[in-house]
Chain A
Amino acid sequence: MFKDLDPILHSQLRLAVVSLLIGVREAEFTYIREKTGASSGNLSVQIQKLKDAGYIDVVKQFKDNYPQTICKITPAGVQAFEEYVKNLQTYLKT
């Protein structure tokens, strides 16, 4: 039986962000923007959605008088990602 794909993750940019964060301990907002090629505004919105879902932690701080945003995947995010990949594989096998 097919399970519905997680709607939070089944979006191009949000999936790109989570896929990027799954392989690293933490990453700055600017790094995620560079790697995804997204605009700052769009990325901010999608990161907020992931944060609200509890999939990522966002820490805002100052570094050398400049604001810095650090993103890190949470255990719930890892679990959701693994589940998402498992469901994807089920779809692809059929």
Chain B
Amino acid sequence: MSEKEPVLSEKESLALITAMINKARDVYHETGVSAIMWGALITICALVRYAEYQFGFRLPFDIYLLTIIAVIPQIYMSLREKKTRKVQRYDDVFISNLWLAFGICLALLILTVNMAFASWRPLLEEYKQLTGKTPEFLLGEYVTSLFLMVYGIPTFVTGASCRFRPMMWGGILCWGCAIIAIFTPFRTDLLLTAFSATMAWLIPGIVMERDYRRAKKQEQTVHV
């Protein structure tokens, strides 16, 4: 824009306002690295656990412990992203708080499920000893549904509020898989978890990263 201040007509003013508001809206180009990392990690964890059951082997450690380790690079990435960000949208604060709440809920859910299993196990053993049968009701058959239901919430809200369809549909798919998982055995639930993580985070993450890189490239071309 020139150093001299041109007199704006009413129409020009309105056109300028619209153009600038659209420019601010265009800024949403989030890197997809976090989504790719979590999508790939949960998919791998679920598939490894499935392989353990299917082929009768056990890893010397719980594969899901990798999710705790993954929190470290996540914190690093979030801090780096915050540092390099030139603009903060109102949505950014909302979305980061949403995913923080999701992380807390997930930790609480894991704790609750483990406590429930710890209380359930002696009862199960006692039942087996008394009747010689395994009860038809197995707690583990329903746990996956709870997790998938929780996975769907921030995924759907992020997708809907950022008008990012792959993530919105990913969230809906998580809920669809949560319903299916109620009726399927635990092994199938693990495959449903892997499928949900791939569709809700891994693939949207790849799309997001591709768009981000494309936008960066365009920005560089414009400013050369």
Contacts and interface: CB of A to CB of B under 8 A. Distances in A.
A1 interface: no
A83 interface: no
Nearest to B14: A88
Contact of A15 (B16, B27, B86): B16
A15 B90 contact: no
Given A19-B20, A23-B21, A25-B89, A63 B13 contact: no
A13 B14 CA distance: 13
B5 to A, nearest CB: 5
Interface string B139-181: 0000000000000000000000000000000000000000000
B17 to A, nearest CB: 5
Interface in B63-94: 83, 86-90, 92-93
Contacts of B27: 24
Contact of A35 (B5, B24, B92): B24
Interface residues of B, number: 28
A21 to B, nearest CB: 8
A23 B83 contact: no
A15 B87 contact: no
A42 B1 CA distance: 9
B6 interface: yes
Contact of B5 (A5, A13, A22, A64): A13
B10 interface: yes
B24 A24 contact: yes
A59 to B, nearest CB: 12
Given A25-B92, A26-B88, A91-B10, A12 B5 contact: yes
B1 A13 contact: yes
B118 interface: no
A13 B6 CA distance: 9
A24 B17 contact: no
Contact of B90 (A12, A25, A42, A64): A25
Interface string B34-68: 00000000000000000000000000000000000
A30 interface: yes
A78 interface: no
B216 interface: no
B126 interface: no
A85 B86 contact: no
Interface of A: 5, 10-13, 15-16, 19-28, 30-31, 34-39, 42, 63-64, 85, 88, 91-92
Given A10-B13, A31-B87, A35-B23, 10 more contacts: A5-B13, A19-B16, A19-B21, A20-B20, A20-B23, A25-B93, A26-B88, A34-B219, A36-B1, A88-B13
